[in-house]
Amino acid sequence: MISSNDGRIQGKPPSSQETKSLKDEAECTSLKLESLTDGSNEGGIPCVMFIEDISAFADSFNPSASAELLIGAFSDLFAEFKAYEGNLGQKSK
């Protein structure tokens, strides 16, 4: 693993075979971004649900979601939150 300037740990990028495998898994599972949220606030911003037992959460999907797929889903949700943050910053100016 390689550490970046901002403290994040980075590894080598996934191979095209690994990327294809994750895309295939994502298409076959019942995991959706809505599975990670618990409604939304009055501004329409989703509330992230607290997951106490990650194994049980992963097993709740059909088929069971892999760690890589869950990380990807949470990364997508994080990107949405960053977009909301950017929009709020622009509105306050």
Q: Which H or E element spans position 25?
A: helix 16-28
Residue 1 lies in a domain: no
The tally of domains found in the chain comes to 1
Looking at this protein, which amino acid is placed at residue 31? L
Least confident of 12-16, 31-35, 67-71: 12-16
Residue 84 lies in a domain: yes
Domain limits at 70?
A: 32-93
Residue 26 lies in a domain: no
Confidence of residue 3 (pLDDT cuts 50, 70, 90): very low
Are 68 and 29 contacting, i.e. CB atoms less than 8 angstroms apart? no
For residue 63, give every residue at least 6 positions away whose Cβ sits within 8 Å of its Cβ, in sequence order, or none. Answer: 28, 29
Q: What is the dihedral of CA 5, 7, 11, 12, to 10 degrees?
A: -20
pLDDT at 43 over 70: yes
Residue 2 lies in a domain: no
